[in-house]
Structures are given as C-alpha cells and as structure tokens.
Amino acid sequence: MKKILSVFILGFLFIPVLPQKFENLALTPPMGWNSWNKYQCNVSEALIMQMADAMVNSGMKDAGYQYIVIDDCWQVSRDENGEIVPDKGRFPHGMKYLADYVHSKGLKFGIYSSAGKVTCQERPGGLGHEYQDARTYARYGVDYLKYDWCGSSTQDGKSSYSNMRDALYAAGRPIVFSICEWGTSKPWEWAGTVGNLWRTTGDISDSWNSMIDIFGKQRDLAKYAGPGKWNDPDMLEVGNGGMTTEEYRTHFSLWCMLASPLIAGNDLANMTSEIQSILMNKEMIAIDQDSLGRQASCFRDNGEYQIWVKSLSGNEKAVCLLNKSDEKKSVLVDFALLAKIRSFGFRYEIPEPAQEGPGMPGMGPKPFGDKLLTLENYRIRDLWEHKDLVVKESSAYIDIPPHGVKIYRFIKK
C-alpha cells in the first residue's frame, strides 16, 4: 500500500507543467494606441497621460480603443540587481504611477521591450531577465507587452518568445503578448500558442506604398488568425500626414478586413474630423471586431482591382472592392453573385448549382446554408456612406476612387 502511495505521489510530482499563454485574452483583435509611429523616442509621462485623456475625450474609448502602449525608450539601464530602470527625467513618477493613471481612465496599459540584448533604440533588452522583467511588469500593472526582436543575434524565435510567454504566465498577471519579430521565422506557424498577435512584416511607414505592400503580404495568412491569435500587419498610420484622406480610409478598411489589431499611432489630442470619422467608424470597427475572428481572403485578383471577402458571424459577410490604381475605376458589380459567395475553409467561392435530376439521387440538396445566400435575404450596407444600397438591378456600376475602397456588409434581413 505504501509503495502504491509513493508511486502515486511521485507520479503526481512529475506531472509536467504544460507551457501556456493566458486564456481568454484578445478574443477580438486588440485596439489601442502606441507611441512609436508618431513620437518615436520622444515619450514621456506627460505625453502618455495626455493620450490617455484624449482617448477618452475624443470618443476613441467609446469606439472600442483600450490599450495605451509606450513603445521604445522608456527605459535607460539596469540597476545592480538587474532591475530595469525607467528614464527618470521622462517618467518622474515611475511606471506604476502611469499605469494607475491609465487604469483610472478605464483603459489598459502597455509597455515595450525586446527579446534580445538590446531594444531597437539600444536600450536594455529582456534577454536573460525574462522572469525578472515579467514580475516587474506585473508589479507595474502592465496589461500588454510588445516584445521586439532587436539585439537577438543567433537566438531562435520560437524558443525566445516561448520563454517570455512562460515568464509572463509565471508572474501571474494576464498580459496580452504582442510578438514583434517582423515575420522573420514565420511566426504565424508557431506563435498561436505563444502570443496573442505577431508582426508579419518589417515596419510600416506613413506612405501608400508601404501600407499597400504590407497589405499584400497578408494574403496567405488568413488561416492562422482567430480569437486570441492575430496576424499583425503593424500599427496604423492614420492621421500622421503622409497619406491622403482617401488612402487612410483604405488603410483602415483593409486592416479591419484583415481582423488586424487596430493600434492607432497618431496624435489623439489633435485629430481632424476626417481622421476621427475614419478611426471611429463604428461600422468598420464592427467588421474588425466580429466575434468569428476571420481574416479576409482575396476572392478575385484583377491586378489593380481586387475583391476581398471576410466571413462574419450570423452568416453575414463583408466585401471589399479595392482600387489600387492611380485612376478612378468604374466597375460593374454583380451583387447577386457577391451574395452567393461562401467560404470553403479559408477560401471564398461561388457554390456550384445543385445537380438534381432524374437518375441522380443524392446529388441535391445544396450544401448547408446556400439557399440563404441570395440577394433577397440581405440588405447591403455601404460602410463609408453609412447607408443601405438601393439595388434596383442585381448588378450596378460602382465608382471607386484611386487608391480607394468600397466596403459592403451583407446584413441578414
């Protein structure tokens, strides 16, 4: 009996602790603001507090934005115990004070480090300090960690990020883990169990070419995204001045179609009404935040004119008509056909008509749900015009401005 008992106890002692990330985090793509795109190293306590205030006062919080993330340059060194030291000049009251302030606004607080020896701005990185830093972040009250890839030399991506995941888990505070290794080791193939989002490319810049190039690179990645695990085509440049209003509308629309994290990167305290109407287009945000968590796929690629489709919960879908060219396009859109598109896995197709007839038992009826996929069952909402389309015929000519989009939501009647 004693033997059995000791075998039992021994067995119990050796049950391996399975590595894991926190459950139920980022079930829809994270929404927030990050300092890098506009302010780079010019971060301070005053700026972060101002942005937290502006997130509330501008209506961004009500639209769903939640995280205030300080990117690189908040940290300067490590002390004799290896503890990370914030820049005292820029953050006179320390990071806990700032986290408390952000929390007092009903928002969440994010911070940045790197998996290597140094960050991209040569500040101390996390390598060798993972567990210590994770405990420090938990003490500060951090809710979101962006973890970069600078200073990583010959490190392995998957094991480096898994190590930080384990450290965060051990520290006990649920923290959204944002992996930023720029797509180097195809994180979409392994990061679903490691983090909540992962950058898929190098850095975005505030230009049409950069944005549209990054968008194109997401094309084959839809199957890796879902609740709690998102492809990250980088933060938004909307409002930073390098693109036209039309291009920013396209940028925002494409990110929503991709179920991307929506991390604004502009000055929230000084937004024009156009920029506000883009970042706070609640009908577009609802596409991004749909609970099904699907990333759009390309349905038709005619070069400069493309059609992208994103399945939504409740048998609805969003369709994006994208004009990448420098000229206005007038395209004949067959809405009856768009209504019929359904997803086969992560591809979108028009189902074949059912082949019923004498001598062909068992060929019909049509696959599940197809009967519903007809124009009569939907109203079509233009998500930038904010009105329903009046479809007199099943097809119509639609104008799409240069570098522009049309986004339609097929809403069940």
Secondary structure, 3-state, 243-293? CCHHHHHHHHHHHHHCCCCEEECCCCCCCCHHHHHHHCCHHHHHHHCCCCC
The CA-to-CA distance between both ends of the chain, in Å, stands at 68
Long-range contacts of 1-10 (CB under 8 A, 24+ apart): none
- Say how many C-beta atoms besides its own lie within 10 A of residue 12's C-beta: 8
CB of 150 to ligand GLA, least distance (A): 6
Among residues 71, 72, 143, 148, the one annotated as catalytic is 148
Nearer to ligand GLA, 234 or 290 (CB): 234
Nearer to ligand GLA, 121 or 315 (CB): 121
CB of 306 to ligand GLA, least distance (A): 27
Catalog residues that contact ligand GLA under the rule CB under 6 A: 36, 71-72, 119-121, 148, 180, 203
Nearer to ligand GLA, 180 or 405 (CB): 180
Nearer to ligand GLA, 59 or 202 (CB): 202
CB of 235 to ligand GLA, least distance (A): 7
Q: Alpha carbon of 291 to those of 33, 199, 234, 285, 309: distances in Å?
A: 21, 21, 21, 12, 16
Nearer to ligand GLA, 119 or 162 (CB): 119
What DSSP designation does 397 have?
E
- Say how many C-beta atoms besides its own lie within 10 A of residue 152's C-beta: 19
Amino acid letter, residue 175: I
CB of 194 to ligand GLA, least distance (A): 18
203 is catalytic: yes
Burial 364-392 (b: 16+ CB within 10 A, else e): eeeeeebeebebeebebbebbeeeebebe
148 is catalytic: yes
Q: Which of 176, 186, 236, 184 has the alpha carbon at shortest distance from 211? A: 236
Q: Which of 65, 85, 83, 67 has the alpha carbon at shortest distance from 75? A: 85
Strand partners, 127: none
CB of 340 to ligand GLA, least distance (A): 40
Nearer to ligand GLA, 183 or 404 (CB): 183
CB 63 within 8 Å of CB 99: no
Q: Which two tokens stand for residue 296?
A: 């759009």
CB of 121 to ligand GLA, least distance (A): 5
Report, as residue numbers or ranges, the catalytic residues: 148, 203
